[in-house]
Amino acid sequence: MAESTRRHGTSNSADTAPTEILPVLHHSSSRHPSSVVRRLSSVIRADHAAGGSAIVAALAVLAVSGDLPFGTLAFPGAGMMPKLVCALMILLGAILVARGGASAPFTDIGWSDLPHAARVLAVTAAAVALYTTLGFIVTMSLMLFALIAFEGRNLVAAAVYSVGVSLLTYGLFTIVLKSPLEQGVLGF
């Protein structure tokens, strides 16, 4: 919690930021479009993004809730709770957008960890897709190996570690904890 707060959560240093949008738009016609985007993104705050996303998400949920009846107060239907919560999300999202100037600038958010996140996510997603087909040992060995190899570690050590850990975990769950793991088409 402290980490996230430290990075983006509590900056009150830029209360005047929303007013900066006017000069940006005023000068936009004489500038290159990419610089306009850059300037515009510099006045967007973390809470603008959070509030805007919440509103869009709530509207999307409302759009797919058409067949859920709201019911009456005497007999509320299946759609009452989701629709009330969506309305609450839109309200709170609007408050966040309106008061967004107090939050950290969107451009101040560090994205240096994005390549790491994308890599981990891609490898894990591939492993999840293969999990039921290839089974625990093969899938997890491959996943561990890929993740460690991407970190630039010694490939032989990574391979030994990956296979060893997968086999040990499989044994621990299947034999000691009597909680069998996925076997897949290969039978292990």
Partner 1 sequence: METLDSLLLGFSVALRPDVLWYGFLGCLVGTLVGVLPGIGPLSGISILLPITFGLDATKAIVMLAGIYYGSQYGGSTTSILMRIPGEASSVMTCIDGYAMARKGRAGAALCIAAVGSWIAGTFGVVVLTAIAPPLAAFALRFGPPEYTALLVLGLIFLAYMSSTSLPRTLLMAAIGLLLGTVGIDNLTGHFRYAFDIAELGDGIGIVPVAVGLFGLGEILSTPSATVVGEVMTPKLRELLPNLKEWRQSGWPIARGSVLGFLIGLTPGSAHIISSFLSYAVERKLSRHPEEFGNGAVAGVAGPESANNAASTGAFVPMLALGLPTGPVTAVLMAALIVHGVQPGPQLVNEHPDVFWGFVASMYVGNVLLLLLNLPLVGLFVNVLRIPYSYLYPLVIMFCVIGVYTVNNSIVDVWIMLIMGVLGYFLRKLGLDPAPLVLGLVISPTFELSLRQSLIMSNGYWTIFFTRPIAFVLFIIAAALLSLSLLALLRKRSDWRTKLAEAEAGEGAQ
Residue (6 or 32) nearer to partner 1, CB: 6
CB 104 within 8 A of CB 17: no
CB of 41 to partner 1, least distance (A): 14
Per DSSP, the three-state class of 122 is: helix
CB of 30 to partner 1, least distance (A): 32
Residue (43 or 144) nearer to partner 1, CB: 144
Rounded Cα distance, 126 and 142, in Å:
10
Distances (CA, A) of 90 to 97, 101, 117, 123: 10, 18, 29, 35
The first and second tokens of residue 122, run together, are: 């891609």
Residue (35 or 133) nearer to partner 1, CB: 133
How big is the CA angle at 128 (ends 145 and 135), to the nearest 5 degrees?
A: 75
CB of 86 to partner 1, least distance (A): 7
In degrees rounded to 5, what are phi and psi of residue 34?
Answer: -65, -35
Residue (26 or 67) nearer to partner 1, CB: 67
CB of 187 to partner 1, least distance (A): 17
CB of 188 to partner 1, least distance (A): 15
Residue (33 or 187) nearer to partner 1, CB: 187
Rounded Cα distance, 183 and 132, in Å:
7
